[in-house]
A and B are shown apart, each in its own frame.
Chain A
Amino acid sequence: MAVDETKTRYTIPVGPIHPALKEPIRLDLSIDGEEIVDVDVVVGQVHRGIEWLGMNRNNPIQNIYLAERVCGICNICHPFAYVMAVEQAMGITPPERAEYIRVIIAEMERIHSHLLWAGVAAHEIGFDSVFYFVWRVREEIMDLIEYVTGNRVTKAMFQIGGVRRDITEEQFPRIRQSLDYYKSLFDQLKTLFLDDRTIRMRTKNVGVLKTEDALKLLAVGPTGRASGVPKDVRQDQPYGGYADLDIKAITPDMLTGTVVGDVYDRIIVRLLEVKQAVEIIEQCLDEMPPGPLLFEQKAAKLLNMLTKAEGEGIGRAEAPRGEVVHYVRLEAGRETLSNWKIRAPTYVNLMSIPAILKGGQIADVPIAFASIDPCMSCTNRAIVVDSKTKNTSILSYRELHELSVEKTKRLEAEFDS
């Protein structure tokens, strides 16, 4: 071995399981001292076979609720992409009002998801007062979601060819009240996340993903946009009510003038997207067309049409984490789908993880990994293996977290002295 005898290289597996995600993950980090030299991503620990269920057990309408349970946080965009794929396969178009309602709830989901992420990110660097504050602020949108859909988490709003519940004129003032609340908070959140000394120290030039790497590794969503890839389905191939709005993909140079592709840039993108989401909802409320909510009222009749239909379709929706793609094929005379393929955004974003972590420090793993928003907390247990002596020691999530917190404190002390 050409490795310097005085150096010891370790392999640290970090992970593996977080049950909320279709692809929970383990990271095998090869480290040299504090520096990460190589990363391997291992996924699939709780693969649930959802596509298989959709092709064998459930009928296409039952699949909407299955799609909703692909992810606990993105439970709007999965059924959104799924129903669009089925609508394309059947050759039907949902009513205009339904298209707008779909957009409103999808944007509400974006606000809650980005705020949730902001809290987690603050926690990862040991800034817990910000974590408490952001999650307190997030309660407002959760209450609003409950007010509009009747539930905080799984909303069951979608139906093939429309939506199941209306958003009425009487509800508008309550919705606008929440939107005004977030607008009044925006400057405070911006100062908190972008001007704070500690956050800048821990996120600037950390976990950098270069534009070229992002393009080659197919990064999507805020991860790709923070690296300067202006890819956003809502802009590029708008679906539903987005097609009427003039949406622009948000990249960090809109605020700072440059693209670095670090964790700080990912914060900028998500922060500006919360503002954008508020504006989109307001615009949808202003321009909401009247009309029916469903292409076909009776579920039994719809199911009959689905059984007879033949065709294929692709549905793409911009989830808070990036693009969700559903491919569906219907076969005449068959009660279930004949093919269903789901592509969640983390599926492609995980390929960027080695590029993001390489060259960084172990103490930066929690924040750099969390910055792609992969439904974090996979990092619950880590085993340290000495490759020479085969000695194994276990780093708990808490110890890894403490490493991160210590680094924040050290940097602050250095700054003060």
Chain B
Amino acid sequence: MEMLTPQAIIDSFGKELGDGFVGGSVYEREVAVKKNKFRSLWVKVKKSAFRDAVEHICELQEYPHLAVISSADLGDRVELIYHFTLYYGNHLQELSLGLRVSLAKNDLKIPTITDIIPGALFTERETQEMMGVEVDGIPDNRRLFLPEDFPQGVYPWRTDETGPQDMLRVLPGRQKKYGSG
């Protein structure tokens, strides 16, 4: 397996995805006494190119590790970051890769990647119930962490009207405070 440099990986995304590639950046820091490099990558793609981007990551390494999907409510958009790690198993060579995709609030849908990476199932189920992002084609549509009697249409990580504000307990003598997430 040939290992690319961080910048070459970002360039390869541009070449592979064309218009679907929005941008990328490399973070680099020196660690401890020997000043070895600690590197992570951030790549942003359009929703239409998302599946191609994941397939491209699988070309870089046959079994990339998907750590987790993090999601943020940014007002009119929801941003998902798929945190991958590449080139594990090699001393000092591993890279963290955050694959970023932004979804409009009126179209919160993302295709599943469980057919490419079966282990993505738990984190897709969690994103679905916590953020209200519908995962198209998910093989197991049940909730993961939320109990079955949790109200429908309430998403704990959202900051808008579908958030959990009404479920919060207000302590005596305190003002009701709207939180985020």
The answer on A and B forming one complex is: yes
Which residues of chain A have C-beta atoms less than 8 A from B96's C-beta? 237, 314, 316
B144–A236 contact, CB under 8 A? no
A99 and B30 CA atoms in complex are apart in Å by: 12
A230 and B63 CA atoms in complex are apart in Å by: 13
A237–B94 contact, CB under 8 A? yes
Near A by CB (< 8 A), chain B positions 89-141 give 89-96, 98, 117-123
A338–B72 contact, CB under 8 A? yes
Closest chain B residue to A52 by CB distance? B181
Q: Is the interface of A mostly helix, strand, loop or mixed?
A: mixed
> 6 A-B residue contacts at CB 8 Å?
A217-B119, A236-B88, A241-B32, A243-B32, A243-B38, A351-B122
B145–A43 contact, CB under 8 A? yes
Among the 9-residue stretches B4-12, B15-23, B45-53, B79-87, the one with 4 or more Cβ atoms under 8 Å from chain A is: B79-87
Proximity string of chain A (222-236) to chain B, C-beta cutoff 8 Å, 1 when within and 0 when not: 000000011101011
Q: When A237-B94, A238-B92 are in contact, do A327 and B83 touch as well, CB less than 8 Å? A: yes
B118–A217 contact, CB under 8 A? yes
Which residues of chain A have C-beta atoms less than 8 A from B29's C-beta? 88, 93
Q: Does A215 count as interface, using CB distance less than 8 angstroms?
A: yes
Which residues of chain A have C-beta atoms less than 8 A from B68's C-beta? 325, 327, 341, 343, 347
B89–A229 contact, CB under 8 A? yes
Proximity string of chain A (213-224) to chain B, C-beta cutoff 8 Å, 1 when within and 0 when not: 001111010000
B93–A236 contact, CB under 8 A? yes
Closest chain A residue to B100 by CB distance? A312
- Taking the closest CB of chain A, its distance from the CB of B24, in whole angstroms, is 14
Proximity string of chain A (331-366) to chain B, C-beta cutoff 8 Å, 1 when within and 0 when not: 000000011010100011011000000000000000
Q: When A44-B143, A347-B122, A348-B122 are in contact, do A236 and B33 touch as well, CB less than 8 Å? A: no
A323 and B91 CA atoms in complex are apart in Å by: 16
A57 and B174 CA atoms in complex are apart in Å by: 14
B63–A215 contact, CB under 8 A? yes
Proximity string of chain B (66-85) to chain A, C-beta cutoff 8 Å, 1 when within and 0 when not: 11101110000000010101
- Taking the closest CB of chain A, its distance from the CB of B164, in whole angstroms, is 8
- Taking the closest CB of chain A, its distance from the CB of B49, in whole angstroms, is 22
A218–B119 contact, CB under 8 A? yes
Question: Residue B66 contacts which of A44, A88, A218, A341 (CB distance < 8 angstroms)?
Answer: A218
A341–B70 contact, CB under 8 A? yes
- Taking the closest CB of chain A, its distance from the CB of B129, in whole angstroms, is 9
Which residues of chain B have C-beta atoms less than 8 A from A314's C-beta? 40, 83, 96, 98
16 further A-B pairs in the complex, CB-CB below 8 A; given A231-B89, A343-B67: A52-B164, A100-B32, A216-B118, A218-B65, A236-B89, A236-B93, A238-B31, A240-B32, A241-B32, A289-B33, A314-B96, A327-B81, A338-B72, A339-B72, A341-B68, A341-B70
- Taking the closest CB of chain B, its distance from the CB of A137, in whole angstroms, is 31
Q: Does A392 count as interface, using CB distance less than 8 angstroms?
A: no
Q: When A52-B156, A52-B181 are in contact, do A246 and B91 touch as well, CB less than 8 Å? A: yes
In this complex, the member of B31, B117, B145 whose beta carbon has the largest number of chain A beta carbons within 10 angstroms is B31
